[in-house]
Amino acid sequence: MRIRVDKSSGVPYYQQIKESVRTLIAHGSLKPGDMLPTEFGLSEQLRVSRLVVHRALHELVTEGLLIRQRAKGTFVAPPARRSYTIVGPLFGTTESLAKEGLIPQNRILVQEVIPATDAMRSELALSESARVVHLTSLRLIDGLPLAIEDMYFPAERFPALADLDMNNRSVYATLERLYGAQPQEATDVVSAGSATRDEARLLGINKGAPVMRVQRASTDRQGLPVEVSKVVFHAERYQFVARMQRTG
Task: List pLDDT tens digits, range 97-128.
Answer: 555 556 778 999 999 999 998 889 888 999 98
Contact 137, 109 (CB under 8 A): yes
Phi and psi at 144, nearest 5°, equal -100, 135
Q: Residue 196: which CATH number? A: 3.40.1410.10
What's the angle, vertex CA 134, arms to CA 186 and CA 223, rounded to 5? Answer: 30
* Residue 92 confidence (pLDDT): 52
Say if residue 106 is in the same domain as residue 33: no
CA-wise closest residue to 10 among 107, 134, 109, 122:
134
* Residue 84 confidence (pLDDT): 41
Q: Is the pLDDT of residue 185 over 70?
A: yes
Whole-number average pLDDT of the chain: 84
pLDDT band at 247 (very low <50, low <70, confident <90, very high): low
The four Cα atoms 116, 118, 123, 127 give a dihedral, to 10 degrees, of 60
- Tell me the CA distances in angstroms from 27 to 50, 122, 174, 191, 238, one per residue in order: 26, 10, 33, 19, 31
Say if residue 163 is in the same domain as residue 50: no
* Residue 225 confidence (pLDDT): 92
Lowest mean pLDDT among 89-93, 102-106, 125-129, 213-217: 89-93
- What is the Cα–Cα distance from 221 to 69, expressed in whole angstroms? 45
Q: Residue 19: which CATH number? A: 1.10.10.10
Query: In the chain, what percentage of residues exceed pLDDT 90?
Result: 40
Q: Is the pLDDT of residue 70 over 90?
A: no
Question: Looking at this protein, which amino acid is placed at residue 31?
Answer: K
Q: Is the pLDDT of residue 88 over 90?
A: no
- What is the Cα–Cα distance from 123 to 229, expressed in whole angstroms? 11
* Residue 96 confidence (pLDDT): 56
Q: Please compute the mean of the pLDDT values over residues 130-138 and round it to a whole number.
A: 96
Contact 225, 156 (CB under 8 A): no
Say if residue 199 is in the same domain as residue 122: yes
Q: Which domain holds residue 57?
A: 13-76
* Residue 222 confidence (pLDDT): 87
Contact 228, 123 (CB under 8 A): yes
What's the angle, vertex CA 82, arms to CA 214 and CA 182, rounded to 5? Answer: 35
pLDDT in tens, 8-28: 888 889 989 998 998 888 888
* Residue 114 confidence (pLDDT): 95
pLDDT band at 152 (very low <50, low <70, confident <90, very high): very high
- What is the Cα–Cα distance from 15 to 5, expressed in whole angstroms? 9
Say if residue 114 is in the same domain as residue 227: yes
Say if residue 131 is in the same domain as residue 199: yes
Lowest mean pLDDT among 76-85, 158-167, 170-179, 211-220: 76-85
DSSP 162: G
Pairing of β 144-154 and β 73-76: unpaired
Q: Which residues contact 207 (CB under 8 A, 6 or more apart)?
A: 195, 196, 197, 200
What total of structural domains would you count in the chain? 2
Say if residue 118 is in the same domain as residue 165: yes
* Residue 242 confidence (pLDDT): 60
DSSP 42: H
* Residue 97 confidence (pLDDT): 54
pLDDT: is 72 or 112 the higher one? Answer: 112
Phi and psi at 217, nearest 5°, equal -130, 125
Q: Please compute the mean of the pLDDT values over residues 80-84 and round it to a whole number.
A: 45
Classify burial at 16, counting beta carbons within 10 Å of its beta carbon; exposed 0-12, middle 13-18, buried 19 or more: buried
pLDDT band at 179 (very low <50, low <70, confident <90, very high): very high
* 81 assigned to some structural domain: no
Q: Which residues contact 130 (CB under 8 A, 6 or more apart)?
A: 115, 116, 121, 124, 154, 155, 156
